[in-house]
Amino acid sequence: MDGEATGAVEASAPDRVARHLRARITEGRFPPGGHLSEGALGQALGVSRNTLREALRLLCHEGLVVHELHRGFSVRELTVDDVVDLYRSRRLLEGAAARQCAEAPPAARLAVVDAARLGDDEAARDDWEGVQTAIMRFHQAVAGLAGSRRLDESMRQILAELRLAFHALADPDRVLPPFVDRNRVVADLVLAGAGARAERELVAYLDEAERAVLTAFGRRGGTRPVGPTVGADAAG
């Protein structure tokens, strides 16, 4: 996704910090609802409070972090409404993109197929984290069928936010496989240029995924009252 050489420099400090924190949050190291102390984090990352604030504000704008005046920043905790909203967005965005697949350039369609195949491979070797990533790649590729950088970006943000909910998901080996199979079906339809059918299949897929997340969510993470403050060991 960010195709630069990424030698860690050649990007402003706030950008680097934001990237770092984004990774930590989406990988679940910083628990949703957890408070992000400026003092502790700044010291742990070796940047000034000002720089850290800029980074946090960015993440805030992306929806991964929440800011309350005079109370500081904390990792966003998705509500049920948020999940519903996110899946509504996905149905519209991915659905519409899939529908137009016949007009998409072949490279974009192949990207969809590749991602689906990758998911199969990872599932075959029981790498469930890899499967998660492949699924993300797949849906990003579906959105990519629309051929718009801005929609790609929107999709990226939606998936990043949604990842906050995925942490509540347990038993990946039981939950994920059906979705991988369905991805293959969608991918084949996309490759064939069957837009309408691809959309229908995809929307059904998303409905089911939404249901799965919502149930796992109600059981586990829905309204955790408060998370611990996250601080020191952030630099890892």
Q: Segment contacting a second copy (CB under 8 A): 50-58, 129-137, 171-179, 188-196? A: 50-58
Q: Which residue in the block uniquely carries the two structure tokens 């906050």?
A: 164
**Per-residue contact string for residues 145-184; x = within reach of DNA by CB under 7 A:** ----------------------------------------
What is the C-alpha to C-alpha distance for residues 18 and 54, in angstroms, rounded to an integer?
8
Tell which positions 135-194 bind a second copy, by CB under 8 A. Answer: 146-151, 154, 158
Min dist. Cβ of residue 73 to DNA (A): 7
Does position 57 interact with a second copy (CB under 8 A)? The reply is yes
CB atoms within 10 A of CB 206: 19
Residue 227 makes contact with DNA by CB under 7 A: no
Q: What angle do CA 57, 90, 120 make, to 5 degrees?
A: 105
Q: Judged by CB under 8 A, how many residues of this single chain contact a second copy?
A: 31
Q: Which amino acid is at 73?
A: F
Using rule CB under 8 A, residue 43 touches a second copy: no
Cα 205 to Cα 224: distance, rounded to the nearest angstrom: 28
Minimal CA–CA distance to 234: which of 11, 63, 23? Answer: 23
Residue 26 or 118 having the CB closest to a second copy: 26
Q: Tokens 């998303």 label which residue?
A: 206
| Interface with DNA (CB under 7 A) | 12-14, 35-39, 46-51, 53, 67, 69-73
